[in-house]
Structure 1
Amino acid sequence: MAADDLARFRTLCGHYRWLAVFMVVSVGALLALMYFVAPAILAARGDFRGTTTSWLGAVVWGAPSLFYLYAVWSLGQAMGRLAKGDLIQPTLARALRRVGLALGIGGVLSVFGVTNLTRIIQSGEGGWLHFDVSGMTLGMIGGALFLLGRVLDQATAVQAELDEMI
């Protein structure tokens, strides 16, 4: 890779890192406002019309978002490391594992956990499975990314072993 291309790549990685930080902070702040700050203000003023059970159910429905935001944060961290000049292969392997795990947990939670936790909170109402195609897709992609991260780790180990032989 030419020096100009490498410098451009690092610059773009740095921009992506700040985009990821902006997204996580802004969306995280909106989620905190929606699920915690606004209900607390309404409860303090005596205007909260819901119940603790309905609020807890809403928090459970928003829980997968935390894992998705962690995946974006992990990508931002990896891009920041690449922008600073870290090696691509170990940075990419670590990022793939973290992003894959976060997307996988978020997807599984979205499809199975949300509905069943809501059933527990609301005393048996609701189904056993939430047919959420996006959650299923993110869960599958997350699993594949996690496995690819492990493959890259093994490739790095094999490469190091081969380098020692030479």
Structure 2
Amino acid sequence: MSQTETERFRLMCRQFNWLAIFMVCSVGALLALMFVVSPVVFLTRGGPSAFTDLWLAEVIRALPQLFYLFAVWSIGSAMGQLAKGRLIQPVLAGALRRVGLALGFGGLLSVFGITNLLRLIKGGTGGWAYFDVSGMTLGMIGGALFLLGRVMEQADRVQAELDEMI
């Protein structure tokens, strides 16, 4: 890459980093407003007691979103490190592992965790698994990204050994 291409790449990485920060902060603020601020205001005004059960069920349904936001944060963090001039391979390997874990856990929670947690709250009604194709897809992609991150880390170690031999 030429010097101008490298600078352009770093500029795009900085922009993506700020986009990820904006997304995580704005969506995180909306989630906090929906699940923390609004219920507190509602309960202080003397809302019905059935509201707490409904609120708890909605919080459980929103749990995978936290994992997905962490995945976006991890990608933005990696882009920020690349913008500062860090080497691509170690940054990418770590980011792949973190994003893979976040997407994998979010997908697993979406398919298996939410339904079973709601079964506990609602007294045993509902199925054991939720046929959520998007959650299954994200879980599988997350597992693949995690494995690719491990392969990249191992390739980096092998490259370091080869460099020492030369």
- Normalised-by-shorter TM-score class: over 0.9
Following the alignment from structure 1 to structure 2, what is the Cα–Cα distance between the partners of residues 19 and 50?
39
Following the alignment from structure 1 to structure 2, what is the Cα–Cα distance between the partners of residues 53 and 154?
47
The aligned residue for residue 41 of structure 2 is: 41
Following the alignment from structure 1 to structure 2, what is the Cα–Cα distance between the partners of residues 127 and 53?
19
The aligned residue for residue 129 of structure 2 is: 129
Kept after mapping to 2: 8 A contact 1:39/1:48: no
2:107 equivalent to 1:112: no
Q: How many residues align?
A: 166
Aligned pairs for 1:21-40 within 5 A: 21-40=21-40
Following the alignment from structure 2 to structure 1, what is the Cα–Cα distance between the partners of residues 68 and 50?
27
Q: Deviations over 1:116-135 (max 9, x none)?
A: 00000111111111111110
Kept after mapping to 2: 8 A contact 1:60/1:117: yes
Change (3 A) 1:48 1:14: farther
Kept after mapping to 2: 8 A contact 1:100/1:144: yes
Post-superposition offset of 1:53: 2.0
TM-score (norm 1): 0.97
AA at the equivalent of 2:31: L
Instruction: Give the alignment's Cα RMSD to 1 decimal.
Output: 0.9
The aligned residue for residue 58 of structure 1 is: 58
AA at the equivalent of 1:65: Q
AA at the equivalent of 2:61: W
AA at the equivalent of 2:71: A
Following the alignment from structure 2 to structure 1, what is the Cα–Cα distance between the partners of residues 31 and 134?
19
Following the alignment from structure 1 to structure 2, what is the Cα–Cα distance between the partners of residues 48 and 159?
63
Post-superposition offset of 1:51: 3.1
AA at the equivalent of 2:15: H
Change (3 A) 1:76 1:48: farther
The aligned residue for residue 151 of structure 1 is: 151
2:12 equivalent to 1:12: yes
The aligned residue for residue 77 of structure 1 is: 77
Change (3 A) 1:48 1:11: farther
The DSSP-based 3-state class of the residue aligned with 1:46 is: coil
TM-score (norm 2): 0.97
Following the alignment from structure 1 to structure 2, what is the Cα–Cα distance between the partners of residues 120 and 32?
24
Following the alignment from structure 1 to structure 2, what is the Cα–Cα distance between the partners of residues 48 and 41?
12
Post-superposition offset of 1:36: 1.3
